[in-house]
Each structure stands twice: as C-alpha cells, then as structure tokens.
Structure 1
Amino acid sequence: MLIRNLLTAACAAAVLAAPAVQARTAPAQVTEASVVLKDGTYQVSWKTSRPGAPVDLYVAASPDAPLKAMRKLADNDTDGAAGVASAQAGAARPYFYVVADGAKTGLRAATRVVPLEGAANFRDLGGYSAAGGKHVRWGQVFRSNGLSTLTDADYKTVGDLDVRLVCDLRTDQERKTQPTVWRGGKAVPVFLNSPKAGLDIDMRALFGNGPPSPQAVRANFIGFYKLMPDAYAGEYKAMFEKLLAGDAPMLVHCSAGKDRTGVASALILTALGVPRAQVTADYAMSETLLDTESARRAMAAGAKSDDPNAAMFAKLPPEITRVLMRTEPAYVEAALDAVTEKYGSVEAYLDKVLGVDAKDLAALRARYLE
C-alpha cells in the first residue's frame, strides 16, 4: 500500500510539473527589434522573451519579402546585437528580420529615417507596436518634408521604395515656389494635392498685437494645432480613402514635414492602434532632424514670391523661429485633444468627419499591421 501511494503521488507531481517544463521549453519570441545606421554600418539590436535566446538574422530589399527570399546574415546569435556593413546589407534601404530559434514568426526592422541629401525629415512609419499585439508594417507609409531639393542619388533611394501615391499637403503657392519634379522609380506616382490656394490662417495671427514673444507665439501655435484637424479634414479624408483602397506605399508630406504632416501621421498611427506615447514620440522626432536655419533659407526663397506668410517667416527673429520649428509633444497633443473634446474621441472624429468607421479601422489594421 505504501509503495502504491508513493507511486500515485509521484505521478501526480509529474502531471503538475508538466506545464512548467513545457513553458521552459517553448520557443523564445523576439519582442523588440531596431536598426540604426551609423558610419556606414547598420546596428541591429533586439530583445527576446528569454534573454540570451539564440536568433537568426536575415535581410531583404523588400519589406514584404518572405523568409525563403531573405538572405541569412547570422545564425544562433545570442548577444542581442549585430553590425552589418552597408555593402553586406546589399540594398539602399535594407529590411532586417530577426527570428528566435524554433519560433514561427519574428520581427522586421529598418531604420526609421531614410537618409537623403535633400530631405532631412523623410522617414518610415513602420515598426511601431499597435493594436492586437501587432506592429505597423514597414515600407507602407512614409512621411517627409519638401521634395524639391532631392538629388539624383536621393531619387535612386526613393525609387526603390516603390511609392505609388504622394499626398502633398502644401498649398498651391508652396508648390509653385518649390515644385516637385519626380524622377525616381519605375513609374511616376499619383499625386494627391491639397486644393488650398494658400494657408487657411494668416500667420500674422500667431504673433498677436505688438512685438511677438516666444510665449505668446507658442500659445497661439497650439491654438493653430487645435484648428488643424477640421481645417484639413478634406485632405485627411482623401488620404484615408487612398489608404483604404490600398494605394501604398504612400508618401505624405508638406514643407517642413512636421505640422500638417505631423497631424496626418498622428491620425494614421492612432487609427492603427498605436499607443499615444509612441504617436507623440514620432511627432517629436522632426525637431531632431530639421535644421532651423535651412528652413529659414527655404522661407526666404519663398519670400521672393507673392507668399506673405513666407515673407514674414523669413524676417522673424531666431527666438520666434525656434518656437515655430519645434515639434513639442504639446503641439500634436493639442490637435488630438481638440478632436476628443469636440467629437468624443479620435476614433469618433475619424468616423464622423473623415468617414472612417469601425469597419474601415478593422480593414486598415488588417492591411497595415503584421
């Protein structure tokens, strides 16, 4: 009897222990992956659900390449990082794929910024964590500042992105002053231009009465952001219609690529279920990329035309220019909070104003998340 009881207890213990054993032997998962280009080398780093778990590293020229079409760069790498020389990456814009041994899926990663000579703020909205534990697909939606100064080398890089649609949020006056002459890729993309002849607001309204102060300009600029979702509702509605139609890869841009484009990008990321903190962090990135002095020179060029806003900007003192060139999170937060206050939520604004309902949100997430 004693022996039988001991055997019964041992079997019960084995059954209870089985899930723990299986949990220990389950394949690790890659939870984060990022890429930074520095001094001609791609620094790929990652984290796994089990620290030190071996992973395989692959590379491809396409963000949608299946595993069998990728080239393996590292096998059973356990230190969480790898350096890949540009020549070894084998593409002007490489997309990396990190997968843990035994796992069915991994994570794709690429540089956030597409390095160009003539556009400092050209970047990919892919890779952010989003709804349902998924991530925004790389290489589908890009954002940028103006394209009029892209070089031939830039267009070689941009051409490889296979951009099919360009949403140009600039006014007719801006396009006249700094025209885009597309010369990259297999075909010229379709251009979806803002129908505005000029800015809906008079920039002078930002400065108030008397000599402008940075504090007053900042407060008025936040007020401008609160108006932007409704002022550009027509452009944003058309943009979402194209996204729903699958007209991607898409490029959204304006002059600096931070205000009108910043709100557009925030709306896209929010629609895809990206957390607010990542949405505002993406917006704030423009400030680290843009050169205020270059923007001033661009505005000075515009001042030679009949654009009164460009002429005024070119004459502003540096302390005021810095306020207008910032991408302080409070700016885009003001736009998102304004629609929440007016419509109940960003999702309600998307539905009531832009015509993007719950069914459309599900379709967007099915198409642009992985």
Structure 2
Amino acid sequence: MMIRNLLTAACAAAVLAAPAVQARTAPAQVTEASVVLKDGTYQVAWKTSRPGAPVDLYVSGSPSAPLKAMRKLADNDTDGAAAVTAAQAGAARPYFYVVADGAKTGLRAATRVVPLEGAANFRDLGGYATANGKHVRWGQVFRSNGLSALTDADYKTVGDLDVRLVCDLRTDQERKTQPTVWRGGKAVPVFLNSPKGALDMDMRALFGAGPPSAEAVRANFIGFYKLMPDAYADEYRAMFDKLLAGDAPMLVHCSAGKDRTGVASALILTALGVPRPTVTADYAMSETLLNTADARRAMAAGAKADDPNAAMFARLPPEITRVLMRTDPAYVEAALEAIEQKYGSVEAYLDKVLGVDAKDLAALRARYLE
C-alpha cells in the first residue's frame, strides 16, 4: 500500500511538473529590438524572453519584406547585439528583422531618425509597442520639419521611402517663405496642404503685456497647445481620412516638425493604441534633434519674405527662443488633456470631431500594426 501511494504521488508530481518543462522548452521570443546609426555603422540590439537565446538577424530595404525576401546577416547570435556596416546593410534605409530560433515571428527594427542633410527632424513613427503587444509598422508614417532645404542626396534617400502623400500643416505664408520643391523618387507624392493663409494666432499673443519672460511665454505656449486640437481639426480629419484610405507611406510635417506635427503624431499613435508615456517620449525627441540656431536662421529668412511672425521670432532673446523651440512633454500633454476635458477621451475626440469611430480605429490598427 505504501509503495502504491508513493508511485501515485510521484506520477502526480510528474504531471504537475510537465507544464513547467514544456514552458522551458518553448521557443524564446524577441521582446525588444532597436537600431542606432553611429559613425556609419548600424548598431542592432535586442532582448529575448530567455536571455542568451540564439537569434537570426536579417535585413531588407523594404519595411514589409517577407522573410524569404530578406538577407541573413547572422545565424544563432547569442550576445544580444550586432554591428552592421552600411555596405553590409545594402540599403539607404535598411530594415532589420530579429527572430529567435524556433519562433514563428520576430521583430523588425530600424533607425528612428532618417538621417538627412536638410531636415534634422525627419523620423519614422514605426516600431512603437502598443498596449496589446503589437507594434506600429515601420515605413508607413513619417514626421518631419520643413523640406525646403533638402539636398539632392536627401531626395534620393526620401525617394526610396516611396512616400505617396505629404500632409503639409504649414500655412500658405510659410509655404511661400520656404517652398517645397519635390524631386527624385519613383513619383511625386500627392500634397495635402493646410488651407490656412496664416497662423491662427499672432505670435505676439504668446508674450502678453510688457517685456516677455520665459515663464509667461511657456504658460501662453501651453495655452496655444490646448487650442490646437480644435484649431487644426480640419487638417487632422483630412489626415486620418487618408490614413484610412491606405494612402501610405505618408509624411506629416510643418515648419519645425514639433508643434502641429507633434500633436498630429500624438493623435496617430494614440489611435493605434500606443501608451501615453511612449507618445510623449516621441514628442519630446524633437528637442534633441532641432538646432535652435538653425531655427533662428530659418525665421530670419522668413522675415525677409515679409512674414511678421518670422520677423518677430528672429528678434527674440535666446531665453525666449529656447522656450518656443522646446518639446517639453507638458506641451503635448496640455493638448491631450484639453481633448479629454472637453470630449471625455482622445477616442471620443477622434469620433466626434475627426469622424474616426470604433470601426475606423479597428481598421487603422489592422492596417498599421503588426
């Protein structure tokens, strides 16, 4: 009897242990992947659900290439990183794919910033993780500052992105001051321009009465962000209509690529289910990319073209310019919080103001997530 009881207990223990054994033998998964371009070399890094698990590394010039169309760069790599030269990458903008041995799917990764000579803030909204574990597709939505200074080499790079639609959130005055002359690429994209003749608010409204102070300008700038979701509702509605129609790859830009474009990008990422901390982190990135001195020179050029706002900006003291050129997370948070206070949620704003309902959100996520 004792022996039979011992055998029964042993069998039960073996059954209980079986799931743990199966879990240990299940294929590892790539949980994170990133790419940084440094000194002409792509530094690819990744993490797996089981540290040290072997992975295969692939590359392609297309953000949506199937595995069979990619080129293998590394086999059974276990150290979590790889250095890939531009020659090895073989594309002006390479997209990497990291997959663990035995796993059915892996993660794509690319540089966040598209390096250009004439636009410091041109970047890809792909790769961000959503709340349900999916990721925004790479190479579908780009954001940037003005394009008037792009070089021939830049247009070769941008042309390879196959941009089909450019949402230009600048005013007619800004386009006159710094026109975009698109060249190169497979075809000239369609331009969706803001119908505004000039900025809705006079820049002088940011400074208040008396000598301007950095504190007062910051507070007034936050007030401007609170107004932006309604002030640019027509432009954002048209942008989402094009996203729903599949008019991508799409490029959204304004002059600095941080304010009107920053709110537009925040709305896109939120609609796709990207968590708020990631949304604000993407917004804040512009500050590290934009050069304030370059911005002042651009505004000086606008002043010569009789743009009153540009002329005023060019004369501002540096401490005021820094406030206006910042991408303080509080700025975009002010826009999103204003939406929530007025409409209840960003999703309600998308529905009631931009005409993007729950069915549309599902369609967007099916198209732009993987």
TM-score range, shorter chain: over 0.9
Encode CA deviations 1:335-368: one digit per residue, 9 max, x unaligned.
Answer: 0000100000111111110000111111100000
Encode CA deviations 1:169-198: one digit per residue, 9 max, x unaligned.
Answer: 000011011110101211000000000000
| 2: CA distance, partners of 1:339 / 1:102 | 45
TM-score between both structures, scaled by the size of structure 1: 0.99
| 1: CA distance, partners of 2:327 / 2:346 | 20
**Which contiguous aligned blocks of 4+ residues in structure 1 show a shift greater than 6 angstroms?**
none
Tell me the secondary structure at the aligned position of residue 56 of structure 1.
Answer: strand
The within-5 A match list for 1:74-223 is 74-223=74-223
How far residue 132 of structure 1 moved from its aligned partner, in angstroms, is 2.1
Q: Structure 2: which 5+ runs fail to align?
A: none
| 2: CA distance, partners of 1:210 / 1:10 | 85
| 2: CA distance, partners of 1:146 / 1:357 | 31
| 1: CA distance, partners of 2:2 / 2:286 | 74
How far residue 305 of structure 1 moved from its aligned partner, in angstroms, is 1.6
| 2: CA distance, partners of 1:220 / 1:19 | 59
**Number of paired residues?**
370
Q: Does structure 2 conserve the Cα–Cα contact (< 8 Å) formed by 1:32 and 1:47? A: yes
| 1: CA distance, partners of 2:7 / 2:330 | 67
| 1: CA distance, partners of 2:276 / 2:9 | 52
| 1: CA distance, partners of 2:8 / 2:202 | 84
Q: Does structure 2 conserve the Cα–Cα contact (< 8 Å) formed by 1:53 and 1:78? A: yes
How far residue 14 of structure 1 moved from its aligned partner, in angstroms, is 1.5
| 1: CA distance, partners of 2:162 / 2:265 | 19
* Greater alpha carbon shift after TM alignment, 124-133 vs 242-251: 124-133
Cross-structure match for 2:53:
53
How far residue 12 of structure 1 moved from its aligned partner, in angstroms, is 1.8
- Identity among equivalent positions (%) equals 91
Q: Does structure 2 conserve the Cα–Cα contact (< 8 Å) formed by 1:240 and 1:356? A: yes
Q: Does structure 2 conserve the Cα–Cα contact (< 8 Å) formed by 1:284 and 1:329? A: yes
| 2: CA distance, partners of 1:89 / 1:30 | 21
How far residue 9 of structure 1 moved from its aligned partner, in angstroms, is 2.5
| 1: CA distance, partners of 2:9 / 2:231 | 72
| 1: CA distance, partners of 2:28 / 2:219 | 49
How far residue 17 of structure 1 moved from its aligned partner, in angstroms, is 1.0
Tell me the secondary structure at the aligned position of residue 132 of structure 2.
Answer: helix
How far residue 11 of structure 1 moved from its aligned partner, in angstroms, is 2.0
* Greater alpha carbon shift after TM alignment, 7-16 vs 241-250: 7-16
How far residue 7 of structure 1 moved from its aligned partner, in angstroms, is 2.9
* Greater alpha carbon shift after TM alignment, 234-243 vs 306-315: 306-315
Q: Structure 1: which 5+ runs fail to align?
A: none
How far residue 65 of structure 1 moved from its aligned partner, in angstroms, is 0.3
Tell me the secondary structure at the aligned position of residue 133 of structure 1.
Answer: coil
Tell me the secondary structure at the aligned position of residue 42 of structure 1.
Answer: strand
| 2: CA distance, partners of 1:307 / 1:171 | 11
How far residue 5 of structure 1 moved from its aligned partner, in angstroms, is 3.2
| 2: CA distance, partners of 1:171 / 1:300 | 17
Q: Does structure 2 conserve the Cα–Cα contact (< 8 Å) formed by 1:123 and 1:142? A: yes
* Greater alpha carbon shift after TM alignment, 17-26 vs 129-138: 129-138
Encode CA deviations 1:190-240: one digit per residue, 9 max, x unaligned.
Answer: 000000000000110000011100000000000000000000000000000
Tell me the secondary structure at the aligned position of residue 82 of structure 1.
Answer: strand
| 1: CA distance, partners of 2:65 / 2:329 | 35
Assess, with a 3 A threshold, how the Cα gap between structure 1 residues 131 and 362 changes in structure 2: closer, same or farther. Answer: farther
Q: Does structure 2 conserve the Cα–Cα contact (< 8 Å) formed by 1:44 and 1:83? A: yes
Q: Does structure 2 conserve the Cα–Cα contact (< 8 Å) formed by 1:56 and 1:76? A: yes
Encode CA deviations 1:69-108: one digit per residue, 9 max, x unaligned.
Answer: 0001011111110000111000000000000111000000
TM-score between both structures, scaled by the size of structure 2: 0.99
How far residue 2 of structure 1 moved from its aligned partner, in angstroms, is 4.1
| 1: CA distance, partners of 2:54 / 2:190 | 44
| 1: CA distance, partners of 2:310 / 2:252 | 21
* Greater alpha carbon shift after TM alignment, 104-113 vs 14-23: 14-23
Does 1:11 find its partner at 2:11? yes
Q: Does structure 2 conserve the Cα–Cα contact (< 8 Å) formed by 1:131 and 1:272? A: no
Encode CA deviations 1:123-146: one digit per residue, 9 max, x unaligned.
Answer: 000000114210000000000000
Tell me the secondary structure at the aligned position of residue 132 of structure 1.
Answer: coil
| 1: CA distance, partners of 2:167 / 2:174 | 14
| 1: CA distance, partners of 2:10 / 2:213 | 79
How far residue 304 of structure 1 moved from its aligned partner, in angstroms, is 1.1
| 1: CA distance, partners of 2:9 / 2:215 | 74
| 2: CA distance, partners of 1:8 / 1:144 | 68
How far residue 6 of structure 1 moved from its aligned partner, in angstroms, is 3.2
| 1: CA distance, partners of 2:289 / 2:205 | 27
| 2: CA distance, partners of 1:144 / 1:352 | 28
How far residue 245 of structure 1 moved from its aligned partner, in angstroms, is 0.3
